[in-house]
Structure 1
């Protein structure tokens, strides 16, 4: 099992906490790109523009080239893939610890209340394995 640096772990946990809102962020970004703010042009006459004259093509190019949108979609796809591959206990651990706005339980509480059916050590291994898989999917590799 690989070791994850604390900074990388924090970044992965931050991405997981944002997961419930990713669809909203993606939708908002699409809206921002489709309906950009346009300053009024008071220049009468003027020269030739270097922009593509077809607005639909320009919008498609803008959406395809947007780094923020690409990153949000990549994060969502990576988390979805890791969740599909995860066991039920892992899904319960991850959803309780990261997807809830105010988590009610920690790992010990999940075990004591019978929400996960494994030992404490196994629960921590499942959590670490999920974080490692997500780091791998996102390309957040540690050098050791």
Structure 2
């Protein structure tokens, strides 16, 4: 896996605890957009038929940022469901905590992960590879 791909996946994992907040904020931004007041009141009426509910649904469905956030969340959730308990412990300690207390060696020494050091690194790499392929970021090199 290329270093750029790895760092992008790690960045996505570090954002995972905040994804629900980002998704709800984006929904609010789309539902209540900022509109400048128009001082040019009067004039003709537009022949366009106004359907604000349909426009709102189209706006939400077409929003690329919201779609990407939801896609990232679903991919991480799917990979976590398929992961072993040791893998979940490693990933949550390294990426989901704001200030990680342990690194992989610390997790092994304190008995939080029940595998060898090499196996722990393999589990981490396997999880990152699965997430990369789930997100479509995986490159074969």
Shift of 1:86: 0.1
Question: Aligned-residue CA RMSD in angstroms?
Answer: 1.4
Aligned residues between the structures: 141
- The corresponding residue for 1:119 is 116
139 and 47 in structure 1: CA distance in 2 versus 1, 3 angstrom threshold: farther
SS of match in other structure, 2:100? coil
50 and 10 in structure 1: CA distance in 2 versus 1, 3 angstrom threshold: farther
Taking the aligned partners of 2:48 and 2:92, their CA distance within structure 1 comes to 45
Greater shift, 77-86 or 38-47, is seen at: 38-47
Shift of 1:19: 0.1
- The corresponding residue for 2:30 is 33
50 and 79 in structure 1: CA distance in 2 versus 1, 3 angstrom threshold: farther
100 and 120 in structure 1: CA distance in 2 versus 1, 3 angstrom threshold: same
Deviating 4+ runs (over 3 angstroms) = 46-52
125 and 48 in structure 1: CA distance in 2 versus 1, 3 angstrom threshold: farther
Taking the aligned partners of 2:139 and 2:114, their CA distance within structure 1 comes to 31
Taking the aligned partners of 1:49 and 1:32, their CA distance within structure 2 comes to 26
54 and 7 in structure 1: CA distance in 2 versus 1, 3 angstrom threshold: same
64 and 52 in structure 1: CA distance in 2 versus 1, 3 angstrom threshold: farther
| Deviation sequence 1:96-131 (CA, Å, 0-9, x none) | 000000000000000000000000000000000000
80 and 52 in structure 1: CA distance in 2 versus 1, 3 angstrom threshold: farther
SS of match in other structure, 2:58? helix
51 and 77 in structure 1: CA distance in 2 versus 1, 3 angstrom threshold: farther
| Contiguous gaps of at least 5 residues in structure 2 | none
